[in-house]
Amino acid sequence: MERNDQLHEEAEEALNQINKKTGRNMPQAIGTAVVLVALILASLLIRIDLFVLLVVVFMVLALWELRVDFATVGLHIPVVMLWICSSFTLLATYYAPYHLITMSLSVIVSIILVSISASAKLSFGNRLSLAVAGKLSNTDASARLESSFNHDGGELHHSRISHVAVSVLTVLYIPLLASCIIIPLTFNNHPVAHAIMLVFLPALSDTGGLFAGAWLGKHKLSPRISPKKSVEGLIGSMLFAMTGAFAVFFCTYDSSIWASRWWVPIVAGVLIGAVGTFGDLCASMLKRDIGIKDMGHLLKGHGGVMDRVDSILMSAAFTCALLWVTGL
């Protein structure tokens, strides 16, 4: 009995050390990841349109999280208009015959409409105030002190141009980059393989970086922005993404493609590992600047939707370009 209690305590201590080093509740993170993987795979196997709708839903949730995050420092983004514009952009990009032109025009129109709405600064109900209060109550005081918007606890006031600028940034961050997830679904008759590369390879890269950093991480990559990121984690991210890319290629393309494009999985792994890590650092820098710990709370063990999709969004444009240029 005492032996079992000792083993249990040692296991708990080891798990606490891993949680501390990774900055996550690992059992929760793994459970959430399993559910997300099952949901995405089910949508891909049933009908690719369901995957497109799933992307739209995740972007709508991500926009709400950004709305709350920016509101903690007094910045307003017109979330309703962003929901409408983002949904239209993503769906039109997939269903319209000229995908790239449609995406470009939709993003331009979105920027105009969102800018107008941001300067009007309309607000509906008190749900935002409640969400902001909840966010601030769960944020460490030290994080708020490090924020660029710390003004001794006083009320924050911004010019209209500030609200417009952060709203335009949101358009470029969410609907534009998310459209790069949609476009590869429309060319060269490999939508499922492209979707797996766009979504699962960045997630696999994150996993590789997480485990390599937790067990091997010695050299800090950017201690000021993200103290838990390490050079070893970056290398692990690249190797895991590369391995995943080789697996996707092996299951998708025939020998003639392999003979001429064997190098593409290597490039994809390096790109996704590097750009995904850069996306994580950008999100960490944004969180530090605003003075919050997580971008949201909707995914247990992962912070929020934005914490989960930042590397996917950032690497989507590069993966899309690589697939387009190589004719895959």
Rg for the chain, CA atoms, rounded: 21
Tell me what percent of the residues of the chain surpass a pLDDT of 90: 40
Q: How would you classify residue 233: left for phi > 0, otherwise alpha for psi between -120 and 50, otherwise beta? A: alpha
Q: Which residue has the higher pLDDT, 281 or 221?
A: 281
Alpha helices in the chain (DSSP H): 2-22, 26-46, 48-71, 79-95, 99-120, 127-137, 141-146, 160-171, 177-182, 191-216, 231-252, 255-261, 264-290, 305-325
Q: Write down the residue that tokens 């996917």 correspond to.
A: 312
Q: Answer whether residue 310 shows pLDDT above 60.
A: yes
Is 4 within a domain?
A: no
Residue type, 92: A
C-alpha distances (whole Å) from 46 to each of 39, 183, 263 are 11, 19, 31
**195-228: per-residue pLDDT in tens?**
999 999 998 888 888 787 777 767 777 666 666 7
- What's the rounded Cα separation, in Å, for the pair 295 and 308? 9
Q: Of 8-17, 144-153, 276-285, where does the model show the most confidence?
A: 276-285
Q: Which two tokens stand for residue 31?
A: 């459970």
Residue 5: Cβ within 10 Å count: 9
- Which structural domain, as residue segments, surrounds residue 51? 25-325
Q: What is the mean pLDDT of the chain?
A: 80
Contact call for residues 171 and 114 (beta carbons, < 8 A) = yes
The residues pairing with 222 across neighbouring beta strands, listed in sequence order, are 226
The verdict on residue 266 lying in a domain is yes
Query: Would you say 52 and 185 are in contact if contact means Cβ atoms under 8 Å apart?
Result: yes
Tell me whether residue 140 is in a domain: yes
In-domain check, residue 69: yes
Q: Report if residue 75 sits inside a domain.
A: yes
**Overall domain count for the chain:** 1
Question: Does residue 301 sit within a domain?
Answer: yes
272: in domain: yes
Q: Provide the token pair at 202.
A: 């960045």
Q: Residue 43 has what pLDDT?
A: 93
Count Cα atoms within 13 angstroms, Cβ side, for 326: 21
In a domain, 261, yes or no: yes
pLDDT of residue 154: 45
Distance CA 268, CA 303 (A): 27
Structure tokens at 219: 């050299």
And the tokens for 170?
Answer: 């949101």
Provide mean pLDDT across the span 94-121.
93
